[in-house]
Amino acid sequence: MSAEPATAPVRQGRHLPLAVVFFTVLLDLLGFGMLLPVLPFYALAYHASALQVGLLLSVYSLAQFLFAPLWGSLSDRVGRRKVLLMSIFGTAASNLLLALAPTLTLLFVARFAAGVFAANVSTAQAYIADGTDPERRAKGMGMVGAAFGLGFVLGPGIGSFLVTTGSQTLVPFTAAGLSAFNLVLAFFLLPESLPPEMRHKTSLRWIDLEGLRHLGKGPQVFGILGVIFLVILSFSAMESMLALFCEDRFGFGAKETGFLLVFIGIVITAIQGGLIGKLSRRFGERRLILAGIGLKVVGLVVLTEAGSLPILLAAAAILATGAGIYTPSIPTLISRLTASDRQGATLGLTRAPSSLARAVGPFFGGWFFQHVSPTAPFVASCLVMVAAGLLAVWVLRGLHPE
């Protein structure tokens, strides 16, 4: 096979590279989704407490918080393709380490390593921004979100099925195999999207704040980072304890939790794969961001009161709808306001508060679950989401016009 398809920059309107990046993200999220229903029970097999389960979920995002800005800045300088390949390789290695880990300590090391190399989503978003005009960007970002959602649809179901074989290690081994296949796919089929003449020429910075200046004045910039942080803090505290909550209230195991996550993923995929482009054109990203946050508040209230399976599914559907609307709208709005040579750095940097929130959220979720009550994480998450909504109303008024 000629090397040309892997090196020629993406041209406006080419559909094959965008399809390849879709499958690249999908395969990455399949491996991630497979581990979601299994990790809490995987940790319990090492006699971990609820707090330690939360910490195990947190350490991945802590590493992502530390390294996501670096990967984004690096992709602006060396191109998206190289960063995606490094990310996929690191993910494969970390999943293999997770499968072979004999102690709880090495489980933490494996998850930290996975977080270090978790650069696929923000780099894929920058890739989409390179190859689409602003009018079609919401649809492109929705495509990444749809891959994310499909990962949640198929991944937990596959993970739950593999658990029924009786070997929990089969899940991370399979995730590592998917990453290895993903690496081969991306190496041969994924072209570069950022030509050399459009790459940023300054020295590499771990944190590059220059791109954020396009978003508005200082208070608005830090405000939108605050909104991102609060939304993900709330959501991650909830989702990290969802498996233990369902085990406590409904007697769920890894299999049932996996099916619940499949249901959530179906809703998210339906919205991001088919509706988000039309919704964005009709209502704009700002209204969708507020609507998504509002739906998450409602979903958390319903989840707190869930006493039966239908109510649980209703809460999950509302939360998934909110996530499906909110998640692609934030990067689309930010990308519209960012210079073309700083897409990677800015999108990577705005992923940092998400990663920090995902590092902190499971810790607090585990603490509230263990020391207060099984519903306490959801009550606290609801209050945080309300604060995020109030902050978003103020922030979105002050951002530069679309």
Domains (ranges, CATH) in the chain? Answer: 10-194+212-398 (1.20.1250.20)
Higher pLDDT, 81 or 124: 81
**Residue 301 confidence class, pLDDT cut points 50, 70, 90:** very high
* C-beta of residue 223 within 8 angstroms of C-beta of residue 398: yes
* Mean pLDDT on 164-173: 82
Structure tokens at 79: 């191109």
Whole-structure pTM over 0.85, yes or no? no
* Mean pLDDT on 356-375: 87
* C-beta of residue 313 within 8 angstroms of C-beta of residue 263: yes
Give the whole-angstrom CA distance, residue 360 versus residue 230: 11
* Mean pLDDT on 343-360: 73
User: 3-class DSSP state for residue 192?
Assistant: coil
Question: Given this model, what pLDDT does residue 213 score?
Answer: 56
pLDDT beyond 80 at 340: no
pLDDT beyond 50 at 275: yes
Structure tokens at 191: 């072209």
Phi-psi region of 231 (alpha: psi -120 to 50; beta: other; left: phi over 0): alpha
Structure tokens at 241: 């304890």
- Return all residues near 219 (Cβ < 8 A) that are at least 6 apart: 398
CA-to-CA dists, residue 10 to 46, 128, 185, 191, angstroms? 47, 10, 17, 7
* C-beta of residue 349 within 8 angstroms of C-beta of residue 207: yes
Give the rounded percent of residues in the chain with a pLDDT score beyond 90. 26
pLDDT beyond 50 at 243: yes
Give the whole-angstrom CA distance, residue 352 versus residue 13: 30
Question: Given this model, what pLDDT does residue 48 score?
Answer: 85
Helix residue ranges per DSSP H, 132-201? 134-163, 170-189
Tell me how crowded residue 7 is: count the other CB atoms within 10 A of its CB: 11
Question: Given this model, what pLDDT does residue 106 score?
Answer: 93
pLDDT beyond 70 at 212: no
Tell me how crowded residue 147 is: count the other CB atoms within 10 A of its CB: 25
* C-beta of residue 347 within 8 angstroms of C-beta of residue 129: yes
CA-angle at 297, arms to 293 and 300, nearest 5° = 130
Question: Given this model, what pLDDT does residue 2 score?
Answer: 38
The residue count of the chain comes to: 402
Query: What is the per-residue pLDDT across 98-137, written as a single tens digit (0 to 9) for each?
Result: 999 889 999 999 999 998 888 677 787 778 877 777 666 7
**Range among 158-167, 173-182, 206-215, 247-256 with highest mean pLDDT value:** 173-182
- Return all residues near 13 (Cβ < 8 A) that are at least 6 apart: none
pLDDT beyond 90 at 77: no
* Mean pLDDT on 8-30: 69
**What does pLDDT average to over the chain?**
81
pLDDT beyond 90 at 390: yes
Give the whole-angstrom CA distance, residue 247 versus residue 254: 9
pLDDT beyond 90 at 303: yes
**Residue 204 confidence class, pLDDT cut points 50, 70, 90:** low
Question: Given this model, what pLDDT does residue 64 score?
Answer: 80
